[in-house]
Structure 1
């Protein structure tokens, strides 16, 4: 299989090359040249693997990673899911007859990003060994992506990782997961500003093709297609484990900031897996809620919130949805993205919402939702997952994606329910010194830092 850019001005890439590059040279995002169509036979093969997460992941990814020998790919995938503390990797917890929670926080950094970034780290390690080249990974984070990316690459030979994050706008424990590793190949870069400032600077750095090639620079954000494909698997796993009478009608409710998490489920649906639909659950930084309710994609200021991983306005992965919604018309994608970048706004006439709906949750509502869920079910959710539990639809089954452990947000949980959740890995971080680098969110400052420390 080959991978092409949403903007249509990059030659097709193999899977490994698309992973290594991350962001397409023309500024677009890689997508499969054609999406596989999973028929009844493929769904039956998936069904047989519903209790074998790594096996299911291999059966799915082998349709995309066609340039990696099957035995090698299987070994990479097996290795990627050895650091999860739940036997079934992604437990599907039933709260009542209509409501399930898909727990995606049992990986090494206690967030859903581990599903893709453990795999991506091992893919990078494989590429370094096969190609005899080093790789320098650059990412931006509003919270969980950075720590998960770092823990996917800790100490791996031939790699260095540079993560930009908004200083003071992640939770203290999220910051400690990035800046207390002690690994020599890890650099936590704290900027003044927002995640959107960090992401904009990152894209400008990747736009310098000479610098990018010289330092073998790769993107670790969900602009990297491997992230999206890996995340498709937990939707597939959850759908297969639902009761048969719930599968056809179940809606997946997804806390969403950069649109990558929910896009993965939607792409799986387009491949033929009959997922009914998706609710985009935003916090008070609600660009996606406004888009899916009004058809207007417009940037406003980012307001720090109790759900910091969703404190985003410009959602990178929306471009992939746009590409498919516009009939794979790359010229039209370029036009829309050019207009949006210039004006900070784009209004879609007759906007195609497909199978999406949306909801919005203010900070003032989050503690009350956490309290309500705890009192009704004896179950504690983190602030991001709380946004997805604001208004569960009583008329049909729902699968809420629990994206992070409540232990990462102890202050909010303690305020809501009087209980402070703890996790041993987080407790161990509290005594370690922070090792972070203050840096301006400018392409020149970032490139200078990378050049001085690149692998």
Structure 2
């Protein structure tokens, strides 16, 4: 299978080359030339693996990573899920007859990003070994992506990882997961400003083709295709494990800011898995809520919140959604993205609201939702997952994606229910020194830092 850019001005690449490249040289995002169409026979093969997460992941990804020998791919995936703390990898908990929670926080950094970034880290390690080349990985994060990316590459030979994050706008424990590893190949870069400032600077760095080639620079954000494809698997796993009566009607409720999480489920639906629909749950930074309720995609100011991983206004994966929505017309994608960059606004002319719905949750509501969920079900949710519990449908089954451990946000949980959840991995971090590098969200400053520390 080959991979093309959403902007249509980059030659098609293999899976491994698309992963190594990250952001396409024309500024677009890679997608498969054609999506596979899973028929009844393939869905049956998936169903037989519904209780074997690594096996299911291999069976899915082998349709995409066609340039990697299957036994090698199988070993990479098997290794990736040995770092999870529960045998189910992604437990599906039933809270009521029509309410399920998909727990995606049992990886090494206690967040859903581990599902893709453990795989991506091992893919990078494989590529460095096979090609005899080093790789420098650059990412921007609003919270969980950075720590998950770092823990996917901790100490791996031939790699260095540079993560930009908004100083003071992640939770203290999220910052410690990035800046207290002690690994010599990890650089936590704290910028003044927002995640969107970091993401914009990152894209400018990748736009310097000579620089990115010289330093074998690759992207670790959800702009990297491997991130989205690996995240498809937990939707597939959950859908297969739902009771038969719930499969046809279930709606996945997804806390999201950068749109990569829900895009993965939507792409799986486009491949033929009959998922009913998706509800996008935002915090007070509600660009996606406005998109799916009005058809207008427009930027507003970012306001720090209790759910910091969703403090985003420019959603990286919007361009992939746009590409499919415009019938894969790359010229139109270039036109729309150019207009959006200039005006900060785009309005869909014909917007399909059958698949997507949305909700919005202010900071003032989050502690009350956490308290209500605990009182009703004896279940503790983190602030991001709490946003997904607002205005749940009464007409169908709901599968809420629990995207992070509540232990990462102890202050908010304590305020809501008078308890402070803990996790041993986080307690260890509290005693370690914080090593972060203050840097301007300026492409020249970032390139200078990479130049001084690249492998």
TM-score, normalised to structure 1, is 1.00
Distance apart, 1:394 and its partner CA: 1.7
**Helix, strand or coil for the counterpart of 1:59?**
helix
Query: Matches of residues 340-351 of structure 1 in structure 2 within 5 Å?
Result: 340-351=340-351
Aligned to 2:428: 428
Cα shift readout 1:84-143 (whole Å, capped 9, x = no counterpart): 011110000000001000000000000000000000000000000000000000000000
Cα shift readout 1:54-96 (whole Å, capped 9, x = no counterpart): 0000000000000000000000000000010111100000000
Query: Matches of residues 80-91 of structure 1 in structure 2 within 5 Å?
Result: 80-91=80-91
Query: Matches of residues 278-317 of structure 1 in structure 2 within 5 Å?
Result: 278-317=278-317
Aligned to 1:376: 376
Distance apart, 1:24 and its partner CA: 0.4
Distance apart, 1:354 and its partner CA: 4.9
In 2, distance between residues paired with 1:101 and 1:351?
29
Aligned to 1:256: 256
Cα shift readout 1:343-383 (whole Å, capped 9, x = no counterpart): 11112222233511111000000000000000000000000
Distance apart, 1:207 and its partner CA: 0.2
In 2, distance between residues paired with 1:351 and 1:271?
20
Aligned to 2:133: 133
**Helix, strand or coil for the counterpart of 2:41?**
helix
**Helix, strand or coil for the counterpart of 1:281?**
strand
**Helix, strand or coil for the counterpart of 2:31?**
strand
In 2, distance between residues paired with 1:318 and 1:359?
18
**Helix, strand or coil for the counterpart of 1:265?**
helix
| 2:451 matches 1:451 | yes
| 2:400 matches 1:417 | no
**Helix, strand or coil for the counterpart of 2:90?**
coil
In 2, distance between residues paired with 1:47 and 1:97?
22
Query: Matches of residues 23-422 of structure 1 in structure 2 within 5 Å?
Result: 23-422=23-422
Structure 1 residue ranges without an equivalent (≥5): none
In 1, distance between residues paired with 2:251 and 2:400?
8
In 2, distance between residues paired with 1:307 and 1:40?
39
**Helix, strand or coil for the counterpart of 2:365?**
helix
In 1, distance between residues paired with 2:385 and 2:244?
25
In 2, distance between residues paired with 1:86 and 1:340?
43
**Helix, strand or coil for the counterpart of 2:431?**
coil
Distance apart, 1:284 and its partner CA: 0.2
In 2, distance between residues paired with 1:353 and 1:310?
22
**Helix, strand or coil for the counterpart of 1:133?**
coil
Aligned residues: 455
**Helix, strand or coil for the counterpart of 1:31?**
strand
Cα shift readout 1:217-266 (whole Å, capped 9, x = no counterpart): 00000000000000000000000000001000000000010000000000
**Helix, strand or coil for the counterpart of 1:81?**
helix
In 1, distance between residues paired with 2:36 and 2:354?
19
In 1, distance between residues paired with 2:39 and 2:267?
15
In 2, distance between residues paired with 1:355 and 1:78?
33
Distance apart, 1:392 and its partner CA: 1.3
**Helix, strand or coil for the counterpart of 2:25?**
coil
In 2, distance between residues paired with 1:162 and 1:11?
27
In 1, distance between residues paired with 2:351 and 2:371?
36
In 1, distance between residues paired with 2:131 and 2:168?
39
In 1, distance between residues paired with 2:328 and 2:350?
17
**Helix, strand or coil for the counterpart of 1:109?**
coil
**Helix, strand or coil for the counterpart of 2:335?**
helix
Distance apart, 1:395 and its partner CA: 1.6
Cα shift readout 1:308-363 (whole Å, capped 9, x = no counterpart): 00000000101101100110000001111000000111122222335111110000
In 1, distance between residues paired with 2:49 and 2:403?
23
In 1, distance between residues paired with 2:47 and 2:226?
23
Alignment RMSD: 0.5
In 2, distance between residues paired with 1:346 and 1:241?
38
TM-score, normalised to structure 2, is 1.00
Aligned to 1:6: 6
**Helix, strand or coil for the counterpart of 2:105?**
coil
